[in-house]
Structure 1
Amino acid sequence: MLGPRLAIAASIAGITALCWLYLFAEAADMRAMGDMTMAMPPKGAVDLVLLLVMWWIMMIGMMLPSAAPMILTFATVNARRRARAQPWVPTALFAAGYVLAWGGFSIAATLAQWGLESVALVSPMAMAVTSARLGGMLFLAAGLYQLTPLKRACLIACRSPFDFVVNRWRDGAAGALRMGAEHGLTCLGCCWILMALLFVGGAMNLLWVALLAVVVLIEKLFPFGDWMGRIGGLLLMGWGVWLLVAG
């Protein structure tokens, strides 16, 4: 059973690495375009699709590592079922459901960026808000959400992979996809407002992207993640208030 788990872990690491390589290339292109003085034309359908692809790859690169324990737990239970001649499915279907859930968030982020760019509240190059007050409101909202019962409930669910897999098991390919999507939505409930902070630090600021990814990873996988999230919430609220007052 160790061999398949290692293969799945290696696949997660490889996909994550490819996503980050894409982001580095995209950020380099954005920096090169930022040196140009010409005005950016309005976004067309192709531009929106490319923007969606960028957001989706970013979400996979940020969120897939923190989903590794859940995916590996699914693979373990799946292998045991297969050994007992019970129905089983490829673990990739569960992972695909998880990725699809974050695809939904990526659509929302794409539309949000398009709308904010149209009113000059987001820079098209840095993909960061141009208003300190808007940034302050996002920080304040993120800090408040970190302290809500919903956040805590979603975080507890994300940190209980065995309970999730056993209690929500569904047979068949559609069942695996649905399980992955359900876990993705739970994870989304835990982290969506932190992902919205990408608009504050800049979605093309890869240090900021990496920092948020590490915060999510620690919150979900480490015993002290719950307390770190609460302390982080207070810090975010303070930062948000400071930006609102200073802005």
Structure 2
Amino acid sequence: MTHVRPGAPAPNRPGVLLPGRELAVGWTLMVLIAVLAWAATVGQARGMGTGPGSRGMALPLFLALWVVMMAAMMLPSVAPVALTWVRGIGRRSAGPARALRTAEFVSGYLLAWTGFGLLVYGALTVTGRLVEAAPGAARWIGAGAFLLAGLQQFGPLKRVCLRHCRNPMFQLARYARYRRWAKDLRVGAHHGLYCVGCCWGLMIVMIPLGVMNVAAMAAVAAVIFLEKLWRQGPWLAWAVGLVFLVLAALAPFQDWLLPGLDPGPPMGEMEMRRMG
């Protein structure tokens, strides 16, 4: 029998990660998944460009691409919550079981964003048809999207959900009382709904900026990360809200702010360019 004196670190038993190593492995996996998701998103965006509507994608294809985009944009900011949950369950789960439960948490989180993706697809379909029928409507659609996003940054839903995302420990303690069936999936989905409530305004600006606009994706992902993890995150949320309100005022007069609503040249002109 091995005796460990009080205060000494626990031995490194096979299959059990010490807290520091566990966090390092968890962060490495999260970063790796996010990097792969960014690579896939950038590769897909190169052949699609920015423009109104869903770019001809059917709903299943759009949702598949949307999930990859959410993994790229959201996993860095949700990683601390996921890893905190994993450390809590790690005391009762071996390595493979812990990895499976982590995957369930992330799957539930992305499931919540998939539901929001359905709404985004519907909005893209409607706005695409409006711009096709009346190109001048793009300015007012863009202004409306920026205005709605700006107001959401100052609203009570943003404040409540951002507070949860910045300090989820109380909610994680409540999750511990969930029933065992699909527990980690439901915990991830529940936390994902808070993130949707916190960030939906930031996401709808992708309609005027372009859903496949990689630069806009990176900027929105950076704002989300800083809002949730930076000490001055709530002040940043207000500053971004002011920026959106300014863009809403400028959008009707500045077409360059709306690349995602630009219908592009007519098909005949595109053919002439391709032939030339």
Q: Where on the TM-score scale, by shorter chain, does this alignment land: which range?
A: 0.7 to 0.9
1:12-27 paired onto structure 2 within 5 Å: 12-27=30-45
The question of 1:142 aligning with 2:149 is answered: yes
Matched residue type, 1:232:
V
The question of 1:235 aligning with 2:249 is answered: no
Q: In structure 1, what is the equivalent of residue 170 of structure 2?
A: 163
- Distance verdict in 2 for CA 1:10–1:121, change over 3 Å: farther
Q: Report if aligned partners of 2:127, 2:141 keep a CA contact under 8 Å in 1.
A: no
The question of 1:77 aligning with 2:88 is answered: yes
Structure 1 residues 73-82 or 94-103, which shifts more? Answer: 73-82
In the aligned structure 1, how far is the partner of 2:109 from the partner of 2:27? 16
Q: CA RMSD in A?
A: 2.8
In the aligned structure 1, how far is the partner of 2:27 from the partner of 2:247? 37
1:100-139 paired onto structure 2 within 5 Å: 100-120=111-131, 131-139=138-146
- Distance verdict in 2 for CA 1:240–1:8, change over 3 Å: same
1:149-188 paired onto structure 2 within 5 Å: 149-169=156-176, 170-188=178-196
- Distance verdict in 2 for CA 1:52–1:88, change over 3 Å: closer
Structure 1: stretches of 5+ with no match in the other structure: 35-39, 123-128
The question of 1:10 aligning with 2:28 is answered: yes
Q: Report if aligned partners of 1:121, 1:131 keep a CA contact under 8 Å in 2.
A: no
In the aligned structure 2, how far is the partner of 1:240 from the partner of 1:228? 18
Q: Give aligned pairs, total.
A: 229
Moved over 6 A (4+): none
Give 1:69 shift: 0.7
The question of 1:51 aligning with 2:69 is answered: no
The question of 1:195 aligning with 2:206 is answered: no
Q: In structure 1, what is the equivalent of residue 103 of structure 2?
A: 92
In the aligned structure 2, how far is the partner of 1:5 from the partner of 1:194? 29
In the aligned structure 1, how far is the partner of 2:208 from the partner of 2:162? 23
Structure 2: stretches of 5+ with no match in the other structure: 1-18, 256-276
Structure 1 residues 190-199 or 4-13, which shifts more? Answer: 4-13
Q: Report if aligned partners of 1:98, 1:184 keep a CA contact under 8 Å in 2.
A: yes
TM-score of the superposition, structure 1-length normalised? 0.83
> What secondary structure, in the 3-state scheme, does the structure 1 residue paired with 2:169 have?
helix
In the aligned structure 1, how far is the partner of 2:191 from the partner of 2:74? 12
In the aligned structure 2, how far is the partner of 1:215 from the partner of 1:4? 27
Give 1:88 shift: 11
Encode CA deviations 1:35-72: one digit per residue, 9 max, x unaligned: xxxxx9x95xx733212211221112111111011001
In the aligned structure 1, how far is the partner of 2:61 from the partner of 2:174? 38
Encode CA deviations 1:145-179: one digit per residue, 9 max, x unaligned: 11111110000000113222112222425121111
Q: Report if aligned partners of 1:96, 1:177 keep a CA contact under 8 Å in 2.
A: yes
TM-score of the superposition, structure 2-length normalised? 0.75
Q: Report if aligned partners of 1:88, 1:171 keep a CA contact under 8 Å in 2.
A: no
